[in-house]
Amino acid sequence: MTQNRPQTGDYAVYYTKYIALVPGGDFLEILESQLRDTEQLLSPLTDEQGDFRYASHKWSIKEILGHLSDAERIFSYRMLRIAREDKAPLAGFEQDDYVAAGDFNSRVRHDLMVEFKNIRGATIALVGSISPEDELRTGVANGNPVSVRALAYIIAGHAQRHLNLMRERRG
């Protein structure tokens, strides 16, 4: 993956906030660094601390971690399909429904972290396999055009946003 940021028009405006959070530099190192940061932030927590919510109607830390795994799977799947020149439009997903159905609070925080680590490893392998030509390919996801490059940046920016929020609101 090159170090060129996605251009406006390569993604829905909604994702601008995520892409803006991705620093410059070696993109694979950014993904690996985020994984280390996530482990460092969450590994010391007990399962009870993983149930923490900063407000009653907000997701717990376990739910955020489960959401990160779900979202990364979906964005990576989109990236794979578009990189492989699949022209079929890709459906959106409702994150709140996924979190509710995921029942992440009944799971052990350690297991959720292992799952995220494995998913991130697969994402790193996929991003590392994408050629400069492939990263420019575009498709349609959730009714919007998106490039392979933009999806990679969305993955990193989405994770960074949630890491930042957990640091700020962890209590």
pLDDT digits (tens, 9 = 90+) for 123-144: 999 999 999 999 999 999 999 9
Give the up-direction half-sphere exposure of residue 71: CA atoms within 13 A in the CB hemisphere: 24
Output the CA–CA distances (angstroms, integers) from residue 11 to 34, 42, 80, 121, 143, in the order listed. Answer: 22, 30, 16, 24, 11
Is residue 171 predicted with pLDDT exceeding 70? no
Fold of 49-169: Four Helix Bundle (Hemerythrin (Met), subunit A) (1.20.120)
Mean pLDDT of the chain: 95
Q: Tell me, yes or no, if the pTM score tops 0.85.
A: yes
On the question of pLDDT at 47 being above 60, the answer is yes
Query: Rounded CA gap, 151 and 134, in Å?
Result: 12
pLDDT of residue 169: 83
pLDDT in tens, 82-95: 999 999 999 999 99
